[in-house]
A and B are shown apart, each in its own frame.
Chain A
């Protein structure tokens, strides 16, 4: 503890040197944590969105909600297929089918089926009654509302659709947090798709082992129809839709590695310079009886502290940045809210301290390996 305090004094009393190193570490860890936040948000979105017993029926050879158009009257035909428990027609309107950082997604569903479709949905403000009673009402996901500064009672317009915010909702499903639920007929008319046309059907089946057989049966039913279908389990649908985002975000892993390497190099360089500038001071301490272990521990403590303090600034800065900026990455109607997570924060801090420790091992060795007499004469 006494050696640790001595290390702390070494840092606090060389303020400018420590500050610049900490700023560098903070910048690197900000980048690293931002990349990790993207990776984590993606894994949360792709792992928790899809239910094990839900199929998504899409128009064959269509990949964007703007181009997938299916007749709404398919719903009763699908519900007659063995193993189907429930069919919900959904109209989706998005402002951008490609990759975007500010995706606006409307989901039109029959209002009476919304709670069945998304059972863990909770109204934070406003009311569900208000939603069902007004045809232009929308229940807006918490992240969406925060991003757009919306609250219950507001009106807003996007994708050519004017809605009244009946409530702000939250849900365990990250997708629900980034969309606005509206009445299906209203969206069909407002988006000029026309009544009777939907983007997709979400089909709940009796059990997960029936997913493949029901999907095949649905596609077989409409094979010769004007609008043939492509039915996939919701998990596969998400995985395919998220593929581009996964590829994009996977690339950022290299940025994260680059940030880690930069922090490692920066701390190692800073601690090595500290050690080189203190050759005589270290020799004096050894003359006074400080062991090589104690000197090495002091150097390692300095590296770890630089890592920890820089990490705190960088990691928390990144978490606050994503908390207040509320970015939503989207692709083909699938939205991905980039939200900070406590796990990413804790991991980031551990990485920062570990980098500090790792970076100071060589300088610590250098500080203690030189013969004492030689250091005293330096």
Chain B
């Protein structure tokens, strides 16, 4: 399987109170196209930092972050913004839907950056909402949805512009077991049926088990790896 993500000696460090903190230390990692990868580890192990580097939200202090062969570590802030708009869908633990917008309008947000017509946007939004089985809730505001439904809307928002890479930061961390299982099945389907490459940070071993492969991080380094499912 050809890799979508290739990380080579990525280090992230910053200074705080005259002290150098290194949440990620010369980490190297490959993620295959269409792979569903989970990152586990205790708090402060560097999971979210790694996720942010992969998503182009943050840049490494040194090393390479190759996505589809393109080293995003070399991109400027505005180039990274444009790159994210085209290639990444981000799923947050607390969904982070815009509260004043309806589910439809939230999902439509990434499409506002492109040149789609209103009709094209509508078709894409409804398709994404259909995929997460929430097309009947399109006009509902986040406050009118359950946590599981909000996360489904967030997933629809992450996939509506058809990015090849989805990154998810504890997507089930704030959900009950039933809703969490449903979200994990959805993520699994997105990888299996739609070919999305998914990198997910989680504390939950059950959530991690839903991924094809699980990596363990500690103090900014990979300390364990296991294939839970074979391709």
Residues on A close to B: CB < 8 A? 2-3, 6, 9-10, 13-14, 280-281, 284-292, 294, 372-373, 376
Contact = CB atoms under 8 A, between A and B. Distances in A.
A284 B94 CA distance: 11
Nearest to A13: B100
A291 B81 CA distance: 6
A287 B90 contact: yes
B57 interface: yes
9 contacts: A6-B112, A10-B100, A285-B109, A287-B90, A288-B113, A289-B85, A289-B86, A291-B82, A292-B81
Interface in B77-103: 77-78, 81-82, 84-86, 90, 92, 96, 98, 100-101
A364 to B, nearest CB: 16
Interface of B: 52, 55, 57-58, 77-78, 81-82, 84-86, 90, 92, 96, 98, 100-101, 105, 109-110, 112-113, 157
A6 B105 CA distance: 10
Contact of B98 (A3, A281, A286): A281
B90 A288 contact: yes
Given A9-B101, A9-B105, A373-B52, A288 B58 contact: no
Contact of A372 (B58, B92, B112): B58
A287 B82 contact: no
Q: Is the interface of A mostly helix, strand, loop or mixed?
A: helix
List the 4 shortest-distance A-B pairs measured between CB atoms, nearest first: A289-B85, A13-B100, A2-B112, A284-B96
Nearest to A285: B109
A3 B114 CA distance: 12
A375 to B, nearest CB: 10
A10 B52 CA distance: 28
Given A6-B112, A372-B58, A376-B57, 14 more contacts: A3-B112, A9-B105, A280-B96, A281-B96, A284-B96, A285-B98, A288-B90, A288-B113, A289-B84, A289-B86, A289-B110, A290-B85, A290-B113, A373-B57
B100 A288 contact: no
Contacts of A281: 96, 98
Contacts of A287: 55, 57, 84, 90
A291 B96 CA distance: 18
A372 B82 CA distance: 14
Contact of A9 (B84, B86, B100, B113): B100
A288 B57 contact: no
Contact of A286 (B81, B92, B100, B105): B81
